[in-house]
């Protein structure tokens, strides 16, 4: 039995998935691990590539895109390791990254989830951890005012690189080390979410049950971002907003979820009208917005 099961979820990310698997092979020496790839019904040859080039990888082949939570939960049920690393197919481990996460898990016995420091491929920093969302922060994000306001009114989501490992509210889901005993007590990822905010919900539930969420900046992971979601651009914005509202409904109450829903719709309507005006004035040279308020209303059914 391996100490760490590395679970990689992929949907039509053949090329970057190959880079991800090569990075695991290159940088995980010295750690007792296994690799499980869950393919969510890819049509780009990903499955054949894994079977031919990576025979040591255990492949789970789903017939359709079942979403992030459901696919990862399925993989976690098939392994019995004490630690599981949920790794996006567009996230590349670097030297010592897995070892740093595992060592922190050994030193912090109540750490249920540990996240890494995420970087862009050029080495610049991505947001790696954040405070749990509230209505004030959502307003600042949706209105664009968050770019002007910092400090306690709008906590920065930039990776903190000058300090050591620390407890945080939640860590970004591109690379998560999860302790099995915490998983067994709290449960897996909530499958009500199709994409986005699953890790926020999971960390929230972990902390409710007395487990800790840690951020380990010594574990650096290069994250391309959006490798799967770029294949469904029209739907991903609706999924993002749907997941935000669902989180509020579950953990902030129906009233907060109601206000967030109409806040999203209001700002989306304003932006849509502005883009449409620009499109008309430019005689069609500037593209229309990705999503219209009517599409969001349809996506919001049931939440």
Class of residue 151 by CB neighbours under 10 A (exposed 0-12, middle 13-18, buried 19+)? exposed
Report the alpha-carbon distance of residue 254 to residue 266 in Å, rounded: 18
CA of residue 180 relative to chain centroid, distance: 19
Query: What's the fold here for domain 4-230?
Result: Spore Coat Polysaccharide Biosynthesis Protein SpsA; Chain A (3.90.550)
pLDDT at 160: 53
The answer, as to whether pTM is greater than 0.85, is yes
pLDDT at 188: 97
Report the alpha-carbon distance of residue 123 to residue 119 in Å, rounded: 5
pLDDT at 230: 53
Report the alpha-carbon distance of residue 258 to residue 233 in Å, rounded: 25
> In the structure encoding, which two tokens stand for residue 165, read together?
């490992």
Residue closest to 241 by CA, chosen among 213, 269, 218, 260: 260
**CB distance 223 to 125 below 8 Å:** no
**CB distance 35 to 8 below 8 Å:** yes
Going residue by residue through the chain (303 aa), what tens digit of pLDDT does each one get?
Answer: 899 999 999 999 999 999 999 999 999 988 999 999 999 999 999 999 999 999 999 999 998 888 899 999 999 999 999 999 999 999 999 999 999 999 999 999 999 999 999 999 888 889 899 999 999 999 998 888 877 766 554 455 554 555 789 999 999 999 999 999 999 999 999 999 988 899 999 999 999 999 999 999 999 999 997 655 455 555 678 888 999 999 999 999 999 999 999 999 998 888 888 887 887 777 766 666 557 777 776 777 767
| CA quadruple 8, 290, 272, 298: dihedral sign | negative
**CB distance 61 to 52 below 8 Å:** no
* Planar angle of CA 101, 105, 110, nearest 5 degrees: 140
Task: Give per-residue burial for 270-291: e unless 16+ CB within 10 Å, then b.
Answer: eebeebeeeeeeeeeeeeebeb
> In the structure encoding, which two tokens stand for residue 34, read together?
């296994």
Map out the domains of the chain as residue ranges: 4-230, 232-299
Report the alpha-carbon distance of residue 53 to residue 287 in Å, rounded: 41
> In the structure encoding, which two tokens stand for residue 80, read together?
């019995």
């Amino acid at each position: 039995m391996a100490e760490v099961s590395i679970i990689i979820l992929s949907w039509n990310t053949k090329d970057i998935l190959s880079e991800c698997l090569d990075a695991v092979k290159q940088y995980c020496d010295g750690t007792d691990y296994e690799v499980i790839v869950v393919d969510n019904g890819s049509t780009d040859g990903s499955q054949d590539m894994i079977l031919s080039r990576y025979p040591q990888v255990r492949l789970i082949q789903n017939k359709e895109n079942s979403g992030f939570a459901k696919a990862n939960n399925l993989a976690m049920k098939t392994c019995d390791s004490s630690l599981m690393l949920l790794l996006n197919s567009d996230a590349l481990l670097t030297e010592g990254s897995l070892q740093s996460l595992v060592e922190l898990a050994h030193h912090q016995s109540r750490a249920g989830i540990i996240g890494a420091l995420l970087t862009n491929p050029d080495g610049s920093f991505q947001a790696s951890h954040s405070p749990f969302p509230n209505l004030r922060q959502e307003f600042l994000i949706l209105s664009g005012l968050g770019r002007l306001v910092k400090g306690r009114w709008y906590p920065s989501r930039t990776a903190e690189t000058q300090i050591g490992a620390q407890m945080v509210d939640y860590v970004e889901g591109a690379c998560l080390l999860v302790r099995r005993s915490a998983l067994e007590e709290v449960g897996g990822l909530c499958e009500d979410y199709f994409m986005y905010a699953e890790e926020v919900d999971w960390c929230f539930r972990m902390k409710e049950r007395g487990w800790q969420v840690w951020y380990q900046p010594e574990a650096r992971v290069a994250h391309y971002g959006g490798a799967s979601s770029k294949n469904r651009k029209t739907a991903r914005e609706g999924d993002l907003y749907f997941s935000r509202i669902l989180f509020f409904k579950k953990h902030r109450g129906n009233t907060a979820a109601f206000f967030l829903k109409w806040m999203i719709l209001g700002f989306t309507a304003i932006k849509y009208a502005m883009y449409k005006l620009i499109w008309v004035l430019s005689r069609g040279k500037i593209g229309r917005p990705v999503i219209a308020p009517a599409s969001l209303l349809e996506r919001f059914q049931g939440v």
